[in-house]
């Protein structure tokens, strides 16, 4: 979710679910070590629990980034070994790391030594022509021996050449059975499944066979599907918030952030799907898309969009 799940997005999603673990966008070790560390790692306390997702392949840099992350109270630190984009490949991290389990294991070992937080790995079921089940087992087994006890598995392989990142989320066939088999062969390792999961019903079905479910694009474009996660998955008895309640709470957050100089568009771009499938959803998206990006935009853009939605819902 590079460039998507920033701190504004995570605050918004946390308003919908109090218990789901949220992941940062992938942040490179270079950005943390040589850029604005505070901007990349700081978050609102209400976002917890949050996992920090790192991109990198140098054990020393990953260890240093883990040490810097310690004071920000992340729930876990995740090493991305699944992203197939060209810019990630050029940095020799992401999905290409699956081709050398030993390098990945060295990275995990350094991260485990540097941090008291759980260290996890997100990866594919294969990459390019390295797509046999034996290859997947060898990768997981080698990395597990280095100290990783949780694997988040996107149930598609990745093609590093010939497919765009978007195509890599759609063209390679899903193979959930391979992930289920991985859990059977590694019963003491936590296996979380990812890829093509769009409903809580699907999630519950998967949870009969593995330990966890990760949602990406669907949760972003249709975020209100998370509204029942706390009750159905985590057993909470808390009343489900309405879309209007969520919008009003986010409105207060936007007002506070704008007083600090944050642009309106940086926040409202994450909430376009809040009214997905509801009357007035199109007008809501259109008004925000047409006005929030302007340098002179004020919070009135959001309040007007919400008013339009309220009128549609009440008619």
Please list the active-site residues.
83
Is the separation of the CB atoms in 33 and 63 below 8 Å? no
Q: How far apart are CA 305 and CA 247, in angstroms?
A: 10
- What SS3 state is found at 290? helix
Residue 93 backbone dihedrals phi, psi, to 5 degrees:
-140, -175
Q: How far apart are CA 200 and CA 192, in angstroms?
A: 15
Residue 306 belongs to what H/E stretch? helix 300-314
Query: Would you say how long the chain is, in residues?
Result: 315
Residue 92 backbone dihedrals phi, psi, to 5 degrees:
60, 40
Q: CB-based contacts of 153: which residues, under 8 Å, 6+ apart?
A: 122, 123, 124, 125, 179, 182, 191, 192, 193, 194
């Amino acid at each position: 979710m590079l460039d998507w799940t920033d701190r504004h997005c995570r605050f918004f999603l946390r308003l919908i679910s109090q218990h789901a673990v949220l992941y940062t966008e992938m942040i490179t070790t270079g950005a943390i070590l040589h850029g604005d560390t505070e901007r990349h790692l700081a978050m609102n306390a209400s976002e917890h629990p949050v996992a920090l997702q790192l991109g990198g392949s140098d054990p020393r840099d990953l260890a240093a980034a883990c040490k810097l992350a310690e004071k920000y109270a992340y729930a876990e630190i995740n090493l991305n070994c699944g992203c197939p984009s060209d810019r990630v490949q050029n940095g020799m991290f992401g999905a290409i790391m699956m081709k050398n389990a030993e390098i990945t294991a060295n990275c995990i070992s350094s991260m485990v030594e540097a941090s008291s937080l759980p260290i996890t790995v997100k990866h594919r079921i294969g990459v390019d022509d390295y797509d046999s089940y034996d290859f997947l087992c060898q990768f997981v087994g080698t990395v597990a021996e280095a100290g990783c006890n949780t694997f988040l598995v996107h149930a598609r392989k990745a093609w590093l050449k010939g497919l765009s990142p978007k195509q890599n989320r759609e063209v390679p066939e899903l193979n959930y059975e391979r992930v289920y088999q991985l859990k059977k062969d590694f019963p003491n390792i936590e296996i979380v499944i990812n890829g093509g999961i769009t409903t809580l019903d699907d999630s519950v079905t998967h949870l009969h066979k593995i330990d966890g479910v990760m949602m990406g694009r669907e949760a972003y474009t249709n975020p209100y599907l998370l509204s029942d996660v706390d009750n159905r998955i985590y057993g909470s008895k808390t009343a489900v918030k309405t879309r209007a309640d969520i919008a009003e709470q986010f409105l207060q957050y936007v007002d506070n952030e704008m007083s600090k100089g944050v642009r309106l568009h940086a926040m409202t771009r994450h909430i376009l799907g809040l009214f997905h499938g509801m009357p007035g959803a199109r007008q809501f998206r259109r008004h925000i898309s047409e006005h929030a990006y302007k340098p002179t935009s004020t919070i009135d853009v959001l309040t007007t969009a919400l008013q339009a939605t309220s009128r549609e819902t009440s008619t």
